Amino acid sequence: MATASVALAQSPSDVRLMSVGNELYATGQYDEATNYYDQLIRQGAHSGPLYYNLGNAHYNQGEMGRAILNYLRAQRIMPRDNDLQSNLALARSLTRDSGASGGETPVAIWNDITERRLTLDELALVTLAIWFAFAMALVVVVMMTRRGVKRAAKIVAILIAVPMVAAFFALGSRLYADALNPDVVVVAEEAEVTTGPSPQYALQLTL
């Protein structure tokens, strides 16, 4: 897996850390490369290529959970990157629960579809553009006196209403998911689920 290049619009030390991390990765020193990438993130650097490279470093160390977590973080910034999508799919296929998708809700599936195509900012702009077009159509309906124009504007407004509702739903569900359900990946080989928060509670199941 090749690393991605990134232009960090921050301090020269950030550029140096990224360069050293990439050099370590290229020579197979994945653990050391991970340390440099993590240091960049702790210093406030956030970019799709940075998370992608960190995911690759974890992948090459066999740490699929951490690889997936960082691929998902990269996906939020560069969702249409083909290499990222391929690596994410590959890492998921190597996890124990790779086939366990039956419990996903329709909202989660819809969010996954939009996350693979649009960043949150892009989705917000698309939603705003659709709403603006709908508002303009309504203005024409209210202001124009010519019957033919009003009828055409009504048809346009009706046609725009459906994608507008879908766009608002997609944006709202993404914002809700980001606020209440941040990316979480189980990295332990085995996890026990109990009926309460302390050890004395009964074991319900083992994941």
User: What are the tens digits of pLDDT across the range 153-191?
Assistant: 999 999 999 999 999 999 998 998 777 766 555 555 555
Report the alpha-carbon distance of residue 38 to residue 171 in Å, rounded. Answer: 30
pTM: 0.73
Residues 96 and 19 in one domain: yes
| Block residue for tokens 């990765």 | 25
pLDDT in tens, 35-72: 999 999 998 888 999 999 999 999 999 999 999 999 99
Cα separation values, 12 from 7, 9, 17, 40, 44, Å: 11, 9, 9, 12, 13
Regarding whether 151 and 72 lie in a shared domain, the answer is no
Polymer length in residues for the chain: 207
Q: Which of 32-36, 113-117, 125-129, 182-186 has the lowest average pLDDT?
A: 182-186
Average pLDDT, the chain: 84
Is 172 within a domain?
A: yes
Residues with Cβ within 8 Å of 167's Cβ and at least 6 positions away in sequence, in order, are: 123, 126, 127, 130, 131
Same domain, 114 and 90: no
Among candidate residues 63, 78, 100, the one where a domain is terminated: 100
Q: Is residue 5 part of a domain?
A: no
On whether residue 116 sits in a domain, the answer given is yes
Q: Does residue 80 sit in helix, strand or coil? A: coil
Q: From residue 135, how far is each of 13, 129, 151, 154, 160 by CA, in Å? A: 48, 10, 15, 11, 10
Q: Are residues 140 and 68 in the same domain?
A: no
111 with 84, same domain?
Answer: no
Is the CB of residue 76 less than 8 Å from the CB of residue 115? yes
Q: Verify that 95 and 121 share a domain, yes or no.
A: no
Question: Is residue 4, in this structure, part of any structural domain at all?
Answer: no
Q: Alpha carbon of 186 to those of 111, 189, 190: distances in Å?
A: 20, 8, 9
Range of the domain at 42: 12-100
Q: Domain for residue 122, yes or no?
A: yes
Give the integer Cα–Cα distance in Å for 70 and 109: 20
Total domains, the chain: 2
Residue 49 Cα distances to 22, 31, 158, angstroms: 11, 18, 41
- Tell me the pLDDT band of 4, cut-offs 50, 70 and 90: low
Q: In CATH, what number is assigned to the domain containing residue 88?
A: 1.25.40.10
For residue 36, tell me if it sits in a domain. Answer: yes
